[in-house]
Amino acid sequence: MNQKMYRVTNTHDYKSENKIVHEYTIMQYRNNNGHEVTALHRSHDEVWAEEVRGQEIIKLIDTGDMIMYPKKMFVGDVDYAMHAELFIVLGFLNKTDRMPLYQGVIEEIVENNTITI
């Protein structure tokens, strides 16, 4: 696999401004062990402070048997931003033909009036 790059644009937070912001870049490549790596980086867009632009945030390594996360990524308190970033990567992987993670429906269960006789 040659390196592939994907642009992630935020269409939610800037909706009222009618603006599309390139927030992240997803990179996919094979590491030296032949495992597929999917990495999420902050974009070089002005939405980020200059010192964090282009910074790698999450890297998942698919060994063929499991997905490995960097050590200590989710230790202790994990903020909402990290959850959102993980959601982006997992959502991306779920949409690929190679690794669909889950397809289904989630429905709210509402208790009906129960009549006991």
pLDDT in tens, 66-93: 888 877 777 788 889 888 999 999 889 8
* Three-state secondary structure call for residue 81: helix
User: What whole-number distance in Å separates Cα of residue 86 and Cα of residue 40?
Assistant: 9
Which residue did the predictor score with more confidence, 110 or 4? 4
Q: Give dist(CA 88, CA 83) in Å, integer.
A: 9
The helix/strand/coil state of 57 is strand
pLDDT at 109 (0 to 100): 81
**With 90 as the cut, is the pLDDT of residue 8 above it?**
yes
From 25, 94, 34, select the one nearest 59 (Cα to Cα). Answer: 25
Q: Is the pLDDT of residue 111 over 90?
A: no
pLDDT of 15 above 70? no
